[in-house]
Structure 1
Amino acid sequence: MALDVRLATETLSAPSELERFLSGRTGDGAVVTFTGLARGVGKDGSTIESLTLDWYPGMTERSMVDIAEAAAARFPVSDLAVVHRCGDIVPGETIVFVAAAAPHRRVAFEAADYLMDRLKTEAAFWKRETGPAGTRWIEPVDEDRAALARWKDETP
């Protein structure tokens, strides 16, 4: 079982990450990926010019590893990858790439879903959007917390 967990300070290429994750893979029947993109429009319809993800070196990476290790313990996957951007991101750029490999598809889907629900609400990032009206901090919303609650019975 391999865990590839990285913080990216530069542009993140989902196709390159997928190629890397698939390289040499012959024993799995399923690979599920998720690619998160920076939006150019806020939930209130306002224009977003950039998204900034602040991080605390060491703490942010540890939070990502903890989440990936919990996924590996919970789901019988072969390998997991979590690559998350930090810093300034413009609309359309990749924020996060998650991949789960498993012998069967259901496990891979569930592991990727679990990873994203936990990353969205628990990874140590501080997010702010910048637009014509200025800058505002972004916090998880009720929908994010509800998605995470599905897993709470067994989430460490």
Structure 2
Amino acid sequence: MADKRRFDLFADLIVSRFLAPRVFDVAGGQGKLNEALTRRGRAVTTFDLRHKHLPVTYAQRIFTLDEPCDAELVVGMHPDGATRVIIEYAARHRLPFAVVPCCSDNGMPYNPWMRHLAELARSAGFTTVEEVTLSMDGRARVLVGEHSPVESR
């Protein structure tokens, strides 16, 4: 069973770590992370295909690398097959990212998947790639990627 605190815990990490006022929440399901971040003063757009969702700013479509960039941070809470896209999009637009992967999109076991994502981020030019663990049950490892301050946009 998923930890009901996961969205608030992840939102707390995001706002404590990043000053970004505008956030893209990729594969955000019903928009619960959006809701948690909005309560913390962030402007968030959630991307997902769900028809039923919370009354938050919501783009009912698949997030792609071609999405116009109108954010300073890209995040995902258990985004399934969108995990890699989050990292690649952030790299393309020189944005930081924070993602809580739950599973791989290629059947890879979890620990190798986490190592693969960290290497993907490093090879995409992120100068800082680190893992943070949320104090919650379930998949709680957050992969964070940032560019050096001199290189940020």
Same fold (TM over 0.5): no
Pair member with larger Rg:
1
TM-score, normalised via structure 1 length: 0.29
Q: Which has the higher contact order (CA 8 A, sep 6+)?
A: 1
Whose strand fraction is larger, Structure 1's or Structure 2's? 1
> What is the TM-score when the length of structure 2 is the normalising length?
0.30
